[in-house]
Amino acid sequence: MKFKAEIDVMPLDALLDPQGKAVTSSMKNIGLSMIEGVRIGRHIRLFVEAGSKSDAESKVDEACKKLLANQIMETYVFTVEEA
C-alpha cells in the first residue's frame, strides 16, 4: 500500500530562529504588527510503500532521524495516511 506522510521540522524552542525574527520585524513594516513570534521550519511531503500504516510510520520516523531532521537543533512531528 502507498502512504502519504506530512512532516514538520521546526527549530527547537530553546534556540534562536533568526529567519523567524527577521520575518516578525518585517510584519510591522507591512502593517501587520498584530503578528508576532514567527518561527520558520521545513514542511516535507513524501510517499512510502509499506505493508501497513505502522510500518509506514516506522520508515518515516527512520527517514526523519537519519536524514530529514537534525535532532540537535530541530524537532519533528509527522502524520501518515493512506494515499
CB of 48 closer than 8 Å to CB of 5: yes
Handedness of CA 27, 74, 63, 59 (dihedral sign): negative
25 binds its own copies per the rule CB under 8 A = no
Distance CA 18, CA 9 (A): 16
Q: Tell me which residues in 30-59 interact with its own copies (CB under 8 A).
A: 30, 32, 34-50, 59
Smallest separation, CB 73 to its own copies (Å): 15
Name the site residues for its own copies (rule: CB under 8 A).
6, 8-10, 20, 23-24, 26-27, 30, 32, 34-50, 59-60, 62-63, 66-68
